[in-house]
Amino acid sequence: MTDYDAVIIGAGHNGLVCASYLAKAGKQVLVVDGRHEPGGCASTREFTPGFNVSDCAQWLSQFDQSIVKDLDLKGAGLRLGKAKATISLQPDNDHLILDGDHVTGAGIDAVDQAAYRDFRKMVRSFAKLMTTLYRSRPPKLVEQNWTDRLTLMKLGLRLKLLGRERLRDLMRIVMINIYDVMNEHFTHSALKSTLALEAVTGTNMGPRSPNTVYSYLHRATGEHLGQTGTTQVIGGMGALGKALALAAEKQGATLKLGAAVTAIVKTNDRVTGVTLASGESHIGKSGDFQC
């Protein structure tokens, strides 16, 4: 078969978003995935009769809301719950609750509460800077091309706009560890550990490993991507996968599930198609095939 402009291997949420935009731009797109459900790590599974679980990811906190709008995911059935507070359970039932800029409970004092507000303010300004990078392709640093130059210029401007003191703070903390930064800002130990957990979740680093402040900031970008706080997808993360799949199909993309790719076909140093486990192969239209 030689019907597509592009084949996307993997119907994870990124594959589906990519497919939707390509299809929206009028390309003929095929998405193939080895699994029988779309969404990849954004999936829901019935793990015991009557009980469903988000298989991998469970919380949505960084999904770019402009994509929700562009691809009309609400129309495709996506529903999000309310933003959730973070609760650090304490043995004496006086739990620490982090909600937006406010932190209460577990005997936290006014000094730490104020410090938390300041900390959030600082984090917000840094995360805003990072979204400048997140919303464009990672710029090449040396190569002369205008797209990347523009990104770098925007970044430079944003850095200047931070103001001198903030910029100095950023220079100092961006590559260090969350352990030190927590101790610099707070005295409340449950608050420190709750925030530090955000910085190490999903990494193979401990709170004392340098670069964990960066991973904390990474997770804080959500707010600038239009998401206010951490939410749950109604129906589990799989509902996001399904909504994305539906949206992709609405844009005209073709989805083929249960079709694992075994090889990428190359002709003369050019990618021209894929071979599936079934033996079937998809060869792109001559010339502008992308994979």
Partner 1 sequence: MNQYDAIVIGAGHNGLTNGAYLAKAGLKVAVLERNPYIGGATVSRELHKGWWYSNCSYVSSLLRPEITRDLELPRHGLQVVSFGGGATFMRNGDHFGNYSDHDRHYREMARHSKRDANAYDRYAADTSLQTKLIRPYLMRTPPDPTSMKPRDLRDLLEFARSFMDLGEEKLLDTIKFWTASVGDYLHEYFETDVIKAHMAGSGIIGTALGVYSPGTAYVLLHHYMGDVDGNVGAWGFARGGMGAIADALSKAFQSYGGEIICDANVDEIIVKNGQAAGVALKDGTEYRAPVVVSNLDPKRTFLDITNPSDLPKDVLKKARNFKIRGSSGKLNIALDGLPVFNGLDPRNRLMAGDLHFSDSLERQERAYDDWKAGTWSKDPYLDMMIPSLTDPTMAPPGKHMMSVFVQYAPPKVEGREWTDEDKDGFEKSVIDQISNYSPNFRDLILHCETRTPREIEAEVGLTEGNIFMGELTFDQLLFNRPFPGYAQYRSPIKGMYMCSSGTHPGGGVMAAPGANAAREILADLKRPNTVPGGYADD
Residue keyed to tokens 């000094």: 111
Q: Which of 82, 9, 52 is nearest to 263 (CA)?
A: 9
Residue 220, interface with ligand FAD (CB under 6 A)? Answer: no
Q: Give the CA distances from residue 237 to residues 60, 71, 155, 232, 255, in Å, rounded to whole numbers and listed in that order.
A: 8, 17, 33, 8, 19
Residue 140, interface with partner 1 (CB under 8 A)? Answer: yes
- CA-CA distance, 61 to 265, in Å (whole number)? 37
Dig out the tokens for 25 from the structure. Answer: 């731009």
Residue 275, interface with ligand FAD (CB under 6 A)? Answer: no
Question: Which partner, partner 1, ligand FAD, none, binds residue 9 by CB below 5 to 8 Å per kind?
Answer: ligand FAD
Question: Which partner, ligand FAD, partner 1, none, binds residue 40 by CB below 5 to 8 Å per kind?
Answer: ligand FAD
Contact at 8 Å (CB) between 158 and 136? no
The DSSP result for 154-183, as a single string, is: HHHHHHHHT-HHHHHHHHHHTTS-HHHHHH
Contact at 8 Å (CB) between 39 and 238? yes
Total chain residues near partner 1 (CB under 8 A)? 21
Binding mask 10-49 toward ligand FAD (x if CB under 6 A, else -) reads xxxxxx----------------xxxx----xxx-------
Stretch that binds partner 1, among 5-13, 32-40, 71-79, 164-172 (CB under 8 A): 164-172
Binding mask 209-248 toward partner 1 (x if CB under 8 A, else -) reads xxx-------------------------------------
**Which residues sit at the interface with partner 1, rule CB under 8 A?**
140-143, 164-165, 167-169, 171-173, 175-176, 180, 184, 205, 208-211
Q: List residues near ligand FAD by CB under 6 A.
A: 9-15, 32-35, 40-42, 56-59, 61-62, 260-261
